Amino acid sequence: MGYKTKEWRSEMRVTVDFNYMMSESLGKNGIKKSELNSLKDKAEDAFNYVALNRGKDDLYMGWTELPYNQDAIVADILATAKEVRKKFKYFVVLGIGGSALGPIMAFNALKHLHYNELPQKDRGGPKFYVEDNVDPVRMQALLDVIEPEKTCFNVISKSGATSETMTQYLIIADILKKKGVNLPDNIIFTTDASRGNLIKIDNAFGGKFKKFVLPDGVGGRFSELCPVGLLPAAVLGIDIKGMLAGAAYMDSLCSRPSVYKNPALACAALQYITMTQGKNINVLMPYSDNLKLIADWYCQLWAESLGKAVDFKGKVVNAGTTPVKSLGVTDQHSQVQLYIEGPFDKVITFISVEKYGCEMKIPHGCEDIPDVGFLGGHTMQELIQAENKATAYALMRAGRMNYTINMPEINAFTLGQLLFMLELQTAYTGALLNIDTYNQPGVENGKKATFALLGKKGYESQKAEMDTAPELDDKYIV
C-alpha cells in the first residue's frame, strides 16, 4: 500500500475496545468469554461467506473491491472535480437514501462545520448542499440561496426511477431550461452503466451529460466509496485516495476469521450475541460533531441491510435491531438517563477521538464558584474525552453493555477505515443471521404504494386496492 508511511498508517489505526461488553467488567450482565468462544465456528462461517463472495456483482458484493479497482475512475473524478471547482459557485447533490447519506456524512466529517458560511478564499471550493427530501419548503429554501446557472447539480440515482430524486431533477431541469442553460453543462449524472432513466435522458441529449457509474454490484447503502461519494468529496477537496487507502487498510486488518483479531467480526459477533439475548436497540454515539452524521449513514446501512422478514431458507425471522443516533456529549443531557436506568435492551457503540481537529483552552475564571472554577486550565478536548470515558464507565457500572471504536484523529484515511469496518460488520452480521443483507423488499412496497397514489401507469390495481381499504373510523381520530 503506497499511502503515506507504514508508521503513519499504524498510528492512524482505528481500533475497537469491547471490554465493557464482557462479564469481566459487567458481571452477570456481560458476555462470558466462553460464550464468545462458542461462536467461533459460526463467526468463521460468516467470515468465509463474505470472503468467498467478495466482489460478486450478482450478490451485490461489489463494494468489497472498491478500495482496489478504481484507479481510472478516481483520475476521472479528480479531473472533473477540478473543473467543477473552477467553474461553479455551488455544488448540489440530488439523491436520497444510499445516494445521499454518504456524501452528507463525508462533508460533515471532513470539512469545516460551517463550510458554506466561510469566505470563498477559505472554502476553496463551491458551496455544498445535498437535497435528500421532497419537502417543498426545503427545495424553495435551496432555490433562495443558490444561483442555478452557477450551480453544478450531481443527480445520483442508480435506477433513475426514484420519485424523490427525479422530482428534484424535473424542477431543476425546468429552471435551467427557462434560463437558457444547456442541461449537460450544469448537470452530472451518477447512475447505472447502461440501464435506467438517467441513461435514457442522456441518450436524448446525444450522450452529452458527464456520467459516472454506480457499479452494478454496489447497492446504494454500500456506495459511499464509489463515485456516489467520491465525486462530491473530491469537489470539496477531500483526499479521496486517502479514504480508499483507509478502506483498504481496514480490509487488511479484517483479514482473519477470529473475533480477537478482526475488529469488524468482533463487532458483528457482539451484536449478534446481544440480538439473541433480545437486546433490540443499537445506539451509535460518536463524541464528535464531525462524526454526528456517521450515525445517519450507519442507521440506513444497518436498518435496511438487516431488517428482514425471512432468512435464506425462507423461514420467518423478522431479523434486525433498531439503530438509534446519539451524539456525545449533547445527548448525555437527553438520552443517557434512559440508557443507564431504563430497560436492558440496548448496546451502545461509542466513537471516540484521540486528537480533535483543533484545541481550545478553557480560561481560568469564577474561581470562587467551585462548580465552575475547576474547569479553568483544562481544554475542551480534555472535557469531551473525560465525559466520553465517564459515560462509558457509568454505563458499565450500571451493567449496561457498551463498546468503543477509537479513532486516532478524523481524517480521510481514518474515515475510510471506519466506513469499511461498519460495512464489513454489517455484512458479517447479515451472514450470521443467514439473511439477504443486500435487498430491501419492504422499501419497495412503500415505493409502489406511492406510485399508485400518484396515478402512475401500471399501478391501477394497487390503487384500487388502496381505495377499497376499510374506511378510517372517526372514533380513532382525536
User: Dihedral of the CA atoms 95, 97, 100, 101 (nearest 10)?
Assistant: 170
97 binds ligand PA5 (CB under 6 A): yes
Nearer to ligand PA5, 288 or 429 (CB): 429
Contacting range for ligand PA5; rule: CB under 6 A; set: 153-161, 277-285, 286-294, 331-339: 153-161
Distance CA 228, CA 155 (A): 9
Other beta carbons within 10 angstroms of residue 82's beta carbon come to 13
Site for ligand PA5 in 433-452 (CB under 6 A): 440
> Is 315 known to be catalytic?
no
Nearer to ligand PA5, 100 or 110 (CB): 100
Q: Are 422 and 37 in contact, with CB atoms under 8 Å apart?
A: no
Minimum CB distance to ligand PA5, residue 161 (Å): 7
Radius of gyration over alpha carbons of the chain, in Å?
24
Q: Does residue 158 interact with ligand PA5 by CB under 6 A? A: yes
- Answer for the pair 394, 339: CB distance below 8 angstroms, yes or no: no
Which residues 355-384 are close enough to bind ligand PA5 by CB under 6 A? none
- Using CB under 6 A, which of 85, 123, 221, 346 touches ligand PA5? 221
Cβ-proximal residue to ligand PA5, closest one: 220
Pairing mode, if any, of strands 402-409 and 346-355? parallel
Q: What is the C-alpha separation between 57 and 64, in angstroms, rounded?
A: 10
Point out which span in 76-84, 115-123, 213-221, 338-346 binds ligand PA5 (CB under 6 A). 213-221
190 with 155: CB under 8 angstroms? yes
Of these, 64, 108, 151, 162, which contacts ligand PA5 (CB under 6 A)? 162
Among residues 224 and 239, whose Cβ is nearest to ligand PA5?
224
C-alpha angle 100-306-344 in degrees, rounded to nearest 5: 110
Binding region for ligand PA5 (CB under 6 A) out of 61-69, 106-114, 215-223, 458-466:
215-223
- List the catalytic residue out of 65, 131, 304, 423: 304
- Return the closest-CA partner of residue 240 out of 260, 224, 222: 224
Q: Which is nearer to ligand PA5, 165 or 388 (CB)?
A: 165
Query: Is residue 159 part of the contact set for ligand PA5 (CB under 6 A)?
Result: yes
Residue 188 touching ligand PA5 (CB under 6 A): no
Is residue 411 classed as helix, strand or coil in its secondary structure?
coil
Residue 30 is a binding residue for ligand PA5 (CB under 6 A): no
CB of 374 to ligand PA5, least distance (A): 47
Cell numbers of 419, please? 466506513
Burial label for 76, CB within 10 Å (0-12, 13-18, 19+), is: middle
Q: At its nearest, how many Å lie between ligand PA5 and the CB of residue 229?
A: 12
Q: Which residues contact 300 (CB under 8 A, 6 or more apart)?
A: 97, 98, 101, 221
Read off the C-alpha cell for 116. Answer: 458554506
Q: Identify the active-site residue in 150, 389, 447, 463.
A: 447
Of these, 126, 220, 232, 416, which contacts ligand PA5 (CB under 6 A)? 220
Q: Which residues pair with 22 in a beta bridge?
A: 31
Distance CA 8, CA 5 (A): 5
Cβ atoms of 372 and 365 closer than 8 Å? yes
One character per residue 273-312, x = contact with ligand PA5 (rule: CB under 6 A): -------------------------------x--------
CA distance 292 to 275: 25
* 306 sits in which H/E element: helix 294-306
Of 151-159, 254-262, 308-316, 406-414, the window that binds ligand PA5 (rule: CB under 6 A) is 151-159
Our CB check for ligand PA5 shows the closer of 330 and 445 to be 445
* Contact (CB, 8 A) for 223 and 102: yes
Rounded Cα distance between 166 and 155, Å, is 9
Contact pick of 219, 232, 323, 328 for ligand PA5 (by CB under 6 A): 219
For 372, residues 6+ apart whose C-beta sits below 8 A from its C-beta are 365, 366
* 157 lies in the site for ligand PA5, by CB under 6 A: yes
Number of residues that bind ligand PA5 (CB under 6 A): 14
- 98 is a contact residue toward ligand PA5 (CB under 6 A): yes
Q: Which stretch binds ligand PA5 (CB under 6 A): 6-14, 95-103, 243-251, 462-470?
A: 95-103
End-to-end CA distance of the chain, in Å? 63
- The nearer residue to ligand PA5, 30 or 98, going by C-beta atoms, is 98
Instruction: Tell me how far apart the alpha carbons of residues 449 and 461 are, in angstroms, rounded to a whole number.
Output: 11
Figure out which of the listed residues 99, 262, 282, 404 binds ligand PA5, where binding follows CB under 6 A: 99
Of 86, 114, 313, 333, the active-site residue reads 333
Residue 321 within binding range of ligand PA5, rule CB under 6 A: no
Shortest distance in whole angstroms from residue 369 CB to ligand PA5: 51
11 an active-site residue? no
CB-nearer residue toward ligand PA5: 36 or 188: 188
Task: Please confirm, yes or no, whether 364 is among the known catalytic residues.
Answer: no
Question: Residue 289 CB, nearest distance to ligand PA5 (Å)?
Answer: 25
Q: Put the strands of the sheet holding 402-409 in their side by side order.
A: 15-17, 402-409, 346-355, 281-286, 322-325
User: With contact defined as beta carbons under 8 Å apart, do 97 and 300 qualify?
Assistant: yes
Q: Which residues are catalytic?
A: 304, 333, 447
Q: Interface residues with ligand PA5 (CB under 6 A)?
A: 96-99, 157-159, 162, 165, 219-221, 304, 440
